Amino acid sequence: MAEYREIITKAVVAKGRKMTLSNHTINPPHHPSSILGCWIINHKYEARKVGKNVEVSGSFDINVWYSHHDNTKTSVVTEKIDYKDVIKLKYRDPDCLDDKIVSAKVLQQPNCVEAVISKKGNRILVNVEREFLVEVIGETKVCVAIHDKCSSDDDDWEDELEDELDDKEFEEIDPDFLVAHEEE
């Protein structure tokens, strides 16, 4: 009969994932004629556990390159966007002892899905998508069985070492064996 031991270790005790679509309105200094490009840069974020959820707070810059004055001039307008995504934890370990460490991984960096001129023609509407995977790491107990008679792999190693060639056998090898057969 085996004995059991409880081991306290760090493990993933909760997980969550969320895709977010958000709409942002950019107010350029000139009435846009057409959108020439839209890029999202400078993404920064941090995550923390709040109750049974994880909050990911961050920011990014939206850069829109557009033409104005009847497509005779171009400009770039930049706007910093702050966001807070609340991600529900789908798997939770009920026996967790401590769950203060949060790991957040970006599955989809903030990306412009669509940038269009508003109906009134004075604003730019930008649709952005982003996706996060979060994991909460905490201390938990693992129960393992302890067996009195464990098989040692040392015996297997000794058998393999005996099967190897010794120095005397190396001296008996003819190094010209292959060369002699190739010349024939």
Please tell me the total count of domains within the chain. 2
| Claim to verify: residue 103 and residue 161 sit in the same structural domain | no
| Claim to verify: residue 73 and residue 33 sit in the same structural domain | yes
Predicted confidence at residue 152, as pLDDT, reads 61
Predicted confidence at residue 85, as pLDDT, reads 96
Predicted confidence at residue 172, as pLDDT, reads 72
Predicted confidence at residue 113, as pLDDT, reads 96
| Claim to verify: residue 56 and residue 120 sit in the same structural domain | yes
| Claim to verify: residue 47 and residue 133 sit in the same structural domain | yes
Predicted confidence at residue 58, as pLDDT, reads 97
Predicted confidence at residue 106, as pLDDT, reads 96
| Claim to verify: residue 114 and residue 156 sit in the same structural domain | no
Rounded to an integer, what distance in angstroms lies between the CA atom of residue 20 and that of residue 157?
A: 55
| DSSP 8-state code for residue 180 | H
Mean pLDDT by 10 residues, the chain (184 residues): 81 92 95 96 96 94 96 96 95 75 95 95 95 92 79 59 64 68 55
| Claim to verify: residue 177 and residue 137 sit in the same structural domain | no
Domain that holds residue 132: 3-144
Amino acid at 161: L
What tokens does 131 get? 């996706």
| Claim to verify: residue 119 and residue 160 sit in the same structural domain | no
Predicted confidence at residue 93, as pLDDT, reads 75
| Claim to verify: residue 80 and residue 135 sit in the same structural domain | yes
| Claim to verify: residue 32 and residue 48 sit in the same structural domain | yes
Tell me the pLDDT of the chain averaged across its residues. 86
Q: Count each helix (H run) and each strand (E run) in the chain, helices first.
A: 3, 7
Rounded to an integer, what distance in angstroms lies between the CA atom of residue 38 and that of residue 60?
A: 13
| Claim to verify: residue 138 and residue 158 sit in the same structural domain | no
Predicted confidence at residue 18, as pLDDT, reads 96
Predicted confidence at residue 95, as pLDDT, reads 72
Predicted confidence at residue 54, as pLDDT, reads 95
| Claim to verify: residue 109 and residue 25 sit in the same structural domain | yes
| Claim to verify: residue 12 and residue 43 sit in the same structural domain | yes
